[in-house]
Amino acid sequence: MLEQTFQTFQPLFVDADLPQVLTVGDEIQLPVNVRNYTDHGVQLPVTVKTANWLTLTTAARVDTNVAAGASAPVVFGFKAKSAVETGPLRIEATNGHEGDAMERTMRVHPDGEPRAVTAAGLLTKDARTLTLELPADSIAGLVHGEVRLYPNLARMCCTP
């Protein structure tokens, strides 16, 4: 039996504490920390990748210097422009020799309030249509439907 202890270590990395959810129209300034655990200073660009759910309000690239054993803050501003369940957000810090990247997903809610609309009726051989009225101010692309069909137990047990 061989027993060995080993340690893994990443000398440079990028980290950001993202909000759990945004609402369409929210504008934030996102602080990103670049940490350097090497024994030498590092100069590198930090970039945020554009995505279809956000609009950048700052430059997509910030050049930064990170001293040995230190961290440097970089701030990116963006506005949530469309609702999305899993919008990608990727931030990279690399100079070709050293670097790191982080990719997380953001959830953006629409700017509105959830509503439930229901309709009930009997579906029979002669009546196979059920009409449902959606609110006029429904947000396009965000309407979700669910159909539940239940048997009519009274008719099942008592039909001759």
CB-neighbour burial class of residue 13 (10 A; exposed 0-12, middle 13-18, buried 19+): middle
Residue 39 included in any domain: yes
Q: What residue numbers bound the domain in which 60 lies? A: 12-109
Q: What's the CA dihedral at 106, 49, 32, 70 to 10 degrees?
A: 140
State pLDDT tens for residues 84-116. Answer: 999 999 999 999 889 999 999 999 998 877 777
- When divided into structural domains, the chain yields a total of 1
pTM of the model: 0.69
Would the pLDDT of 150 be above 90? no
Residue 62 included in any domain: yes
Helix (H) or strand (E) holding 3: none
The CATH number that applies at residue 72 is 2.60.40.10
